[in-house]
Structure 1
């Protein structure tokens, strides 16, 4: 069933659909965990919130650069004032 517009969905059906999608995504996440039980959350956390990641959770080869990165006031300011995607694009370009 393809819907052209969000408002074409009846409210009750919309809630049911949202819950169904959420449940499906949780099941997929659980299944991925079965195949990759030791998959760390660090790469995702590093992208979403780099200042909450512990240095020891970063690969040893990148720790020195990571320490410089998280201790930079300019980086902290940019991260707090930009959308995450724009921030990382800027980091890649510099």
Structure 2
């Protein structure tokens, strides 16, 4: 998804029978950047976890409940671009 030239990619990696990890990358105009990435529980809707992507633009959220829906929001640290929102991210 691209909004304001920031991209947030996400992939889901299984780690146990009931929990999984959601991870991805943040980029600006094709170049990896650090960004604030928040994962929201869609049922409550409260912040489940918040991280800053690393120098290689990678982020991960561990301990996500399998089958649960989350919303992911990536925020440009300098607020140069709009945030990226990805809804209906389901941990598998």
Identify the structure with the greater strand proportion.
2
Q: Normalising by structure 2, report the TM-score.
A: 0.23
Q: Who wins on radius of gyration, i.e. which is larger? A: 1
Q: Higher relative contact order at CA 8 Å, sep ≥6: structure 1 or structure 2?
A: 2
